[in-house]
Structure 1
Amino acid sequence: MSKKILFILSEYGYWGEELLGPVVACDENGYQAVFATATGKRPQALPPSLDPGYVDPPLGRSVTTPEVAVAATALDGSSRLDNPLSLTAWIPDRPYFSEPDYLRKIEAYYRDLGAIETDIEQYDAMVIVGGSGPIVDLANNGRLHELILAFVEADKPIVAECYGVTCLAFARNWDDRRSIIDGKHVTGHCKEYDYKDGTGFIGTDFNMGPPPYPLEYVLQDATGPTGRYHGNVGRETSVLVDYPFITARSTPDSFLAGRKMVEVLEKGLRKFGW
């Protein structure tokens, strides 16, 4: 049976290194990378993430080495990303309560969701790639939330990077509305790393300014009184494993997150970084 990892990417821009790190781990360890986006549109890297001369405003330095820029540019321009799966075509859309014949529609919805359990048997893990794009089409994507819940139910690990970690905080069972990271230890984009201006997206000229929410605060609340958010400010890397979740704070953590994913899958790693 072939080994496969499902990668979820935004159609509004991913950060180059945050795809490259886990993909390199897959390629080096015999895992096939399968890519998916919200509607099946080809993902594109955010231009600053491919530019070693780009100075990250909060950090005051470049966060992309020349070597990573070359490799990430090659991956972004390769045919590997040409035909991603579509979450819209794959996963049903939950009906509104106000829709006519709601009961029959919600029954059909749950029947259709059952097929996901079979669909994901082929995958060993999921990676939610970070960057600013996930803010737009992944963080509050109900279809992605259902996929995340299915992976958790199947006891399959999930890697989430940077603003991709938001998807974990918002993925909730509709019965109890508790975050799936309640009681877990996670990392993610810390307040000190947030832009004050310049949060942008592929395909738009819109400068959002700062991010629409401080992810650190979201994660502090979602992990609850028995879990914890770890910013690890001042440390060069921040990757946590609290199985089944592998969370990475930002760009420099991408290669480490990929390596830890392999350790989780092949060596039984269940806790790291806290």
Structure 2
Amino acid sequence: MPAKKVLAILSEYGYWGIELVGPLEKLEQSGYEVHFMTPHGKTAQALPPSYDTTYVDPPLGICVTTPEAAEKVKAFEATGKLANCLNMADYIPERPYHSATNFLRELENYYVKVKESHKALTDTYDAVLIVGGSGPIVDLVNNQRVHEIILGFYRAGKPVSAICYGVAALVFARDFNERDSIIKGKHVTGHCIEYDYHDGTGFMGTDFNIGPPPYVLEYILADAVGTEGQFHGNFGKETSVIVDYPFITARSLQCSFEFGEQIVNVLDNNLKRYGW
């Protein structure tokens, strides 16, 4: 029997530790092998606040990193499993510019290669997981290769899961000709505006603090799902995890283990709807 596998996509500018480790723990307990991919194959690193038990989340006004979560994240980081991440550029070609020489032939060739890439990935993996944190804002959300991977799993009818700012990538995953977001008409969750930062959004490998997030996740998700879908912020509730197959979305770090449980339920128990 072939191994059960999930592809986890991480930012090279920092991921929130438990948003990977939580679902990873649930997946591995259920017999899934998880492979890690970054945009250029560089090592993904956990954001320091995600293993700092003294860090106070400004919108919530409380410490959000529990001692248990911090230890799990530090233990995982120490394994070195993220030192040899798959290079996304090796799996998905870059779409040519319209101004490229011989653009039409290049675009035709691009679609041939993308189709092959989609088949290779979806033949290998049972689901894709996009991990959150501030890093995805930089190199995942508006990454055309990430969009193509999402589209490949979506078209194959396989689960597409995302947490926190990883959910934003679903907004922009669109057929290049049709333009509509693939989450149009769906139910999703993500950071509601009440939990957005006023300041301090930072990244690994740079001292640049962009202040608040560059976009309001609630607004772009609500616009993308349209009037036939719904954004569920679940403000005030401890967790927010939504399954509207094939999408599994989670609001933030507090949801990490529940998020992992529902990914497993989708994969193993045919769960199609949860949380709404």
TM-score bracket for this pair, using the shorter chain length? over 0.9
- One-letter amino acid of the counterpart of residue 131, structure 1: G
2:97 & 2:83 partners in 1: Cα distance? 33
2:210 aligned partner, one-letter code? M
Aligned amino acid, residue 192 of structure 2: C
- Once the two structures are superposed, the pairs formed by residues 15-54 of structure 1 within 5 Å of their partners are 15-54=16-55
1:128-167: per-residue Cα shift (whole Å, max 9, x none)? 0000000000000000101100000111101100000000
Comparing 114-123 and 29-38, the one that deviates more: 114-123
Over residues 36-78 of structure 1, what are the superposed CA-to-partner deviations in whole Å (9 max), with x where a residue is unaligned? Answer: 0000000000000111110000000011110110011111221
**Separation in structure 1 between the aligned mates of residue 135 and residue 59 of structure 2, nearest angstrom:** 19
Secondary structure at the counterpart of residue 240 of structure 1:
strand
Please, which of 207, 210, 215 is the counterpart of residue 209 of structure 2?
A: 207
**In 1, Cα distance between the equivalents of 2:44 and 2:12?**
5
Structure 1: 5+ residue runs without aligned partners?
A: none
Which deviates the most, 73-82 or 228-237?
A: 73-82
Equivalent-residue separation in structure 2 for 1:47 and 1:60 (angstroms):
18
Name the residue aligned to 2:167: 165
2:211 partner amino acid? G
Q: Residue 227 of structure 2 aligns with which residue?
A: 225
Q: Equivalent residue for 2:85?
A: 84
Q: TM-score, normalised to structure 1's length?
A: 0.99
1:176-211 CA distance string (max 9 Å, x none): 100000000000011111110000000000000000
State the match for 1:266 in structure 2: 268
* Deviation of 1:84 (Å): 0.7
Cα RMSD (Å) of the superposition? 0.7
Report Cα offsets for 1:201-222 as digits up to 9, x if no partner: 0000000000000000000100
Q: Does 2:178 correspond to 1:181?
A: no
Q: Distance in 2 between matches of 1:117 and 1:126?
A: 12
One-letter identity of the residue aligned with 1:201:
F
Q: Secondary structure at the match of 1:44?
A: coil
- The residue number in structure 1 matching 2:106 is 105
5+ unaligned residues in a row in structure 2: which ranges? none
* Match of residue 122 from structure 1: 124
How far apart, CA to CA, are the structure 2 residues paired with 1:99 and 1:122?
33
Q: Distance in 1 between matches of 2:216 and 2:187?
A: 18
Give how far 1:117 is off.
Answer: 2.9
Q: Given residue 135 of structure 1, which amino acid in structure 2 is its aligned partner? A: I
| Distance (whole Å) between structure 1 residues aligned to residue 143 and residue 25 of structure 2 | 27
The structural deviation recorded for 1:27 is 1.4
Which letter maps to 1:16? G
Q: What SS does the aligned partner of 1:79 have?
A: coil
> Which region of structure 1 is more displaced relative to structure 2, 144-153 or 71-80?
71-80
User: Partners in 1 of 2:67 and 2:269 — Cα distance?
Assistant: 32
Structure 1 position 107, deviation (Å):
1.2
Is 2:243 the partner of 1:236? Answer: no
Distance 1:74 1:49 in 2: 13
Query: What is the aligned partner in structure 2 of residue 142 from structure 1?
Result: 144
Query: What SS class does the counterpart of residue 96 from structure 1 fall into?
Result: coil
Counterpart for residue 67 of structure 1 = 68
Cross-structure match for 1:216? 218
